[in-house]
Chain A
Amino acid sequence: MKVSLNWLSEYVEVPNDVKAFCDKLDLTGTGVEGVETLGEAFENIVVGEVVSCDDHPDSDHLHVLSVNVGEDEPLQIVCGAPNAAADKKVVVAKIGAVLPGDFSIKKSKLRGVTSCGMCCSERELGLSGNHEGIWILPEDAPVGMPLSHYISNTDTVLDLEITPNRPDCLSMVGMAREVGAMYQHDYTSPLVKMAERMAEFEQGADVSDLVSVDVVDFDRCPRYTARVVDNVKIGPSPAWLAERVTAAGARSINNVVDVTNYIMFLFGQPLHAFDYDKLMEKDGRVRIVVRPAQDGEEFTTLDGEERVLTSDMTVIATPERAIALAGVMGGLETEVTDETTSVLLEAAAFSRAHTSRTSRNLGLISESSMRYERGVDDVPVELISQAACALLAEVSGGTVRPGVVDVHDALTMPIDLEFRIDRFCAMMGADIPKDFIVDILKRLGCEVASTQDSNVLAVVAPTFRPDLEREIDLYEEVLRLWGMDRVEATLPGGRGRFGVRSAEEHALEKINATLRASGLNETMTYSFAEPTELDHLRMNKDDLGQAVELLNPLNAEQSVMRQSIIPGLLRSVAYNQSRGVSNIQLYETGKVFFAHEGKKKPKERMRVAGVMAGAMTDPGWNVESAQFDFFDGKGVVENIARELALPKVRFKALEANEAPHLQPGRAAQVLSGGTVLGWVGELHPLSVRNFDIQGPVVAFELDFDALGKALRPARDYKDVPVFPAVAIDVAFVVDEGISHEKLVQCMSSAGGKLLDDVQLFDVYRDEERVGKNKKSMAYALTYRAPDRTLTGEEVDKTHERLVKKVCAALGAEVRG
């Protein structure tokens, strides 16, 4: 909310030191988002009068003006505004003036005609957003007067962040009360005096003879008042009024609209002015109904937009049609125009929840809806309506119908609360004196009384503070105004405690450490995904459920939640490659999401995924570099398996149809016993191409929950061997189809207990020497007994038997 300090100081003493004032506001809960000083920048900007306005000889929209600025000669100014006309009072920036945005005014030529200044719009002056032509000042504006004098010297406007719990601060009077409490100063509200003045303008029959109001549902509209102001002459606002509403951030429109805005800014009560004649029925009367809208009812709001309403919304209507959207915006058809002579003034209270939903459903936020959804006090509505009518009559030359149509149910009752001083002090950890507590609560508008217990205050919270419902709400008020900085910093005591990480956290930490030790770099990508990305990856979606769809995504590329981490990582691979980085080793741990029909919440699974492209490093002066292939990915997964002590880990070849995103023949499922942990492999060249990446890319994706279930907290101890081992190398020539795993299994079962270890050290293929579709697999075998030194004889016998069995079982031959 914009708060003019000139205006505020009408009701409360405002400190001269603006910086200190802002700090105090900040510390007590009213954030200062901006400080703007009006007026001081207006050097060389004066009030001028257009003497003549001629068309530019060489343009169809420019005018050549002669403007009297109170100097000997009028200035010739070229101006493009459509509302420039002779005899109008305008604001002239003379040569040498600097407008907001460092725009300095110089003598210039526009299409051949000299221009010695500029006529300004309010926006160009930084006064408001109004840029519908130049600013036309009231006729009484004195020619030649510096603008800073004309708009009553300088003013400082603070842009304040009013938190949603403080509807009362969305008004000047409310801010005056707040500032009064901050400094323990008194403030005054002009409401009663302004309201009393209505009597001066009363004329004609009682308003209830003309207007009736029917509220269908008091839950939606707890109070509705209507008054009528006749003999209105619509025109520009007096300067003081225009200045106030402009400072508050609105645009000065005309005297009637400005009064409604002024009253809203002053008291926080939104008002709406209808053109009475447009509501009138044939008998001259106005019948207003506050009712739920019909589903599908169409209505054009003031901003010219046609809206389709729902029954959750409330409309102000005549028997024929809706005329306003309750609490949000009036209707275009019944708005006040230059021809209006009679005004029906609505001052009402509307439901917070309905207003909020209506506003959100229509995407329509107004000064009015913002206040109603935070809460407008229904108690002073009628009094504020009086004050508004008095002011309306005064500035428009009108008269007010006596009386009021005021329809309401039970009004909001103030809430009685207890304030236990010792509990408060104990909870804050500060000794705050009772006198201070009482004074602050009173200044905030509470009634405070002592009780029999000197430790307990009886507090009645004011109706304009809907946030003060409970004792704790009062604690906050006193603490923030006493000063949070004055509370001594302590640490919780208690009986002592210990902090622990969960088992999952520990497992995750192990995985992270292992992946980093394997040379992979952790990254983070968006949880959002493109709906087609799994198709691009060619990933089988059968087991992935449905994608979690966002109702309001930022863009189509981020409209669902990811079902795999791989696409995000591939986008990072592409990002790196396009920037000349070719060695990429990335991993991420994070959630993936699967929705299921009929289920409210999706399943969330934690995944561990990595991608490797290029090599670990570039070749160095003493290191060779090898391009990543399947076995680098597998090695990483093996490291994880080792660190988590996963039992019975197996890699099972995946067929093309099982994992279409992987290159057939370089793809494996990772299992621990019968539990599937995930997969590892080289991505299919077609998948890689779909992500604009240079392959090959080695990738893996493991399910963290499955890893967590399979892991063992520790491995068992095995005796360190005491007796010497005998090493024998053997190379088997086998068919290509025989896997390493198969050979090892065969050797293990044939070698029995004495076979201690099997290490593959060479794979050799040569059509001539080894044979077509054959390979030679060379193993280093270690024989050892745990309890004795083996004899040569024993070893030879065991080894011979092993070779024989392997040859027989797998059709292998020993390579000589």
Chain B
Amino acid sequence: MALADELCALQAETLAGIEAAADTAALDQVRISVLGKSGSLTAYLRNMGQVPKEQRAEVGKTLNEVRQAIEQALEARKNTLATAELEAAIDAAAVDVTLPGRSQQMGTRHLINRITDEISEVFLGLGYSVATGPEVETDYYNFEALNAPADHPSRSMQDTFYVHDLSGDASTVRGESDVLLRTQTSGVQVHAMEDQEPPIYVIAPGKVYRRDVADPSHLPQFTQIEGLVVDKGITFGDLKGTLDFFCKQMFGPDRKTRFRAHYFPFTEPSAEVDVSCGICHGEGCRFCKGTGWLEILGCGMVDSNVLRYSGIDPEVYSGFAFGVGVERVACLKYNVPDLRMLLEGDMRFLRQF
């Protein structure tokens, strides 16, 4: 058979083989058998030397044509196969995207501290600093410096836990003591006024204690955020505006506030603040006991005695103070049905927030 015929047959055979290759590995086999070191076409190329001189140009040209045809076919087939194989691999790798993700467990912030953070942010934004104070206080900082001297009837407003006084001082009343668990964070006010010159803008979050048996709506230990402003020209209107802003930040821009005159020994004038009920919007419903309002905090203008106790001249400065019960906010904002859940550490409760 003439060399040209042989090459033609080889080309046809190889192209058929390429077409038949089912995957890239089979294709590679075909390539090796034809173009590899001992491949059939390679053998012809290697034997070019034995081709008579006068035929050499002709044969060489044919050989090149065959090689190019085969290489092109190989390349084309390779692309086709690779595309198909990638598609197959992608198909095979598909997952059910509704299966759970793989993640590290993130811990959670306690609801009360979460709310405390929220409230702190509001007041940090208004230019207040955050202060803290001791939980075991002397009578002076919890009552006396707050204008509730010994035997003052306002003391009965809060049932106090008294602490065994190891200094040897004795109390005039059996079962009471000069040392106590603070019933309000207001003591931090006094520390702040003693330690700083006005203007003073502080909030003081912290635990407070009152002798109430734990039940769905009472805890003997709860959290309060006290706010204090002392500056020149502070008005009752400023107190209203500040707390109105706070309530709108916490509960939503459509909520209203209402100030009811009240009495606290350390502020005068004093008020309790209600926020309009978020469920009935003031119409009256079961949640707000038909009043349309929810009590949220106590506040007032800092009593001039309190200022004077801390060495601040009430003729020059005025100020306001307020106290928010964080648990109260938790109830109003998150509908926590039983305050005791806040102290049980139930994982199923904690991980909700």
Question: Interface residues, chain A, CB within 8 Å of chain B?
Answer: 26-29, 31, 163-166, 312, 352-353, 356-357, 360-361, 373-374, 426-430, 470, 472-473, 475-476, 479-480, 484-485, 487-494, 496-502, 504-505, 512, 515-528, 546, 548-554, 558, 561, 569, 571-573, 575-576, 579, 581, 583-587, 590-591, 593, 595-602, 604, 616-617, 620-623
Contacts and interface: CB of A to CB of B under 8 A. Distances in A.
Interface in B92-122: 99-100, 102, 104-110, 112-113, 120
B221 interface: yes
Contacts of A494: 199, 231-233
A290 to B, nearest CB: 19
A374 B153 contact: yes
Contacts of B54: none
B100 A522 contact: no
8 contacts: A480-B261, A488-B240, A489-B240, A489-B241, A548-B163, A571-B345, A586-B347, A623-B102
A528 to B, nearest CB: 7
A569 B106 CA distance: 19
A601 B233 contact: no
Contact of B161 (A493, A550, A576, A600): A550
Number of chain B interface residues as a range: 35 or more
Nearest to A500: B129
A600 B261 contact: no
Contacts of B49: none
Given A27-B260, A490-B235, A523-B350, A585 B107 contact: yes
Nearest to A498: B127
Contacts of A484: 236, 240, 259-261, 269, 271
Nearest to A165: B263
A789 to B, nearest CB: 37
B155 to A, nearest CB: 8
Contacts of A430: 236-237
A165 B263 CA distance: 7
A360 B343 contact: no
A499 B260 contact: no
Contacts of B9: none
Nearest to A477: B269
Contacts of B164: 548-551, 595
Contacts of B156: 164
A548 B236 CA distance: 41
Interface string B310-328: 0000100010000000000
A472 B176 contact: no
Contacts of A593: 135-136
Of the candidates A426, A492, A546, the one having the most CB atoms from chain B within 10 angstroms of its own CB is: A492
A554 B218 CA distance: 13
Contacts, number: 287
A361 B231 contact: no
B169 A600 contact: yes
A585 B108 CA distance: 10
Nearest to A569: B345
Given A484-B260, A581-B348, A472 B231 contact: no
A360 B348 CA distance: 43
A429 B269 contact: no
Interface stretch (B39-47, B74-82, B205-213): B205-213
Of the candidates A505, A527, A600, the one having the most CB atoms from chain B within 10 angstroms of its own CB is: A600
B80 to A, nearest CB: 35
Given A502-B130, A598-B168, 4 more contacts: A472-B304, A487-B236, A501-B124, A516-B107
A374 B107 CA distance: 51
B52 interface: no
Contact of B263 (A163, A352, A591, A604): A163
Contacts of A583: 347
A497 B304 CA distance: 24
B242 interface: yes
Nearest to B220: A554
Interface string B219-257: 011000000010111111110111011000000000000
Contacts of A519: 104-107
Contacts of B99: 621-622
A487 B163 contact: no
A473 to B, nearest CB: 7
A551 B163 contact: yes
A520 B130 CA distance: 26
B50 interface: no
Nearest to A622: B102
Of the candidates A472, A501, A515, A524, the one having the most CB atoms from chain B within 10 angstroms of its own CB is: A524
Contact of B138 (A512, A595, A601): A601
Interface string B337-351: 000001111111011
Interface in B170-223: 172-179, 181, 199, 201, 207, 209, 211, 213, 220-221
Given A428-B237, A552-B211, A517 B106 contact: yes
Contacts of A600: 138, 165-167, 169, 178-179
Those 9 A-B pairs whose CB atoms lie nearest each other, nearest first = A572-B345, A429-B237, A429-B235, A163-B263, A480-B261, A29-B261, A516-B107, A164-B153, A353-B151
B157 interface: yes
Nearest to B223: A524
Contacts of B241: 489-491
Of the candidates B113, B209, B236, B261, the one having the most CB atoms from chain A within 10 angstroms of its own CB is: B261
A583 B348 CA distance: 11
B213 A29 contact: no
A527 B182 CA distance: 12
A240 B146 CA distance: 45
B174 A361 contact: yes
A586 B110 CA distance: 10
A591 B209 CA distance: 13
Contact of B351 (A353, A512, A521, A553): A521
A164 B231 contact: no
Contacts of B207: 527, 590-591
A524 B347 contact: no
B26 to A, nearest CB: 35
Contacts of A479: 236, 261, 269
Contacts of B174: 361
B107 A587 contact: yes
B11 interface: no
B270 interface: yes
Contact of B172 (A312, A493, A499, A527): A312
B128 interface: yes
Contacts of A357: 151, 172-173
B124 A499 contact: yes
B238 A429 contact: yes
B109 A512 contact: yes
Nearest to B348: A581
Contact of A525 (B163, B165, B345): B345
A621 B123 contact: no
A307 to B, nearest CB: 12
B150 interface: yes
A806 B303 CA distance: 73
Contact of B107 (A522, A524, A601, A623): A522
A612 B234 CA distance: 50
A598 B343 contact: no
B64 interface: no
A526 B135 CA distance: 13
A29 B269 CA distance: 10
B56 interface: no
A361 B238 CA distance: 43
B25 interface: no
B7 interface: no
Interface in B273-305: 301, 303-304
B7 to A, nearest CB: 52
B262 interface: yes
B20 interface: no
B236 A429 contact: yes
B330 to A, nearest CB: 11
B3 to A, nearest CB: 55
Contacts of A590: 207
A667 B164 CA distance: 35
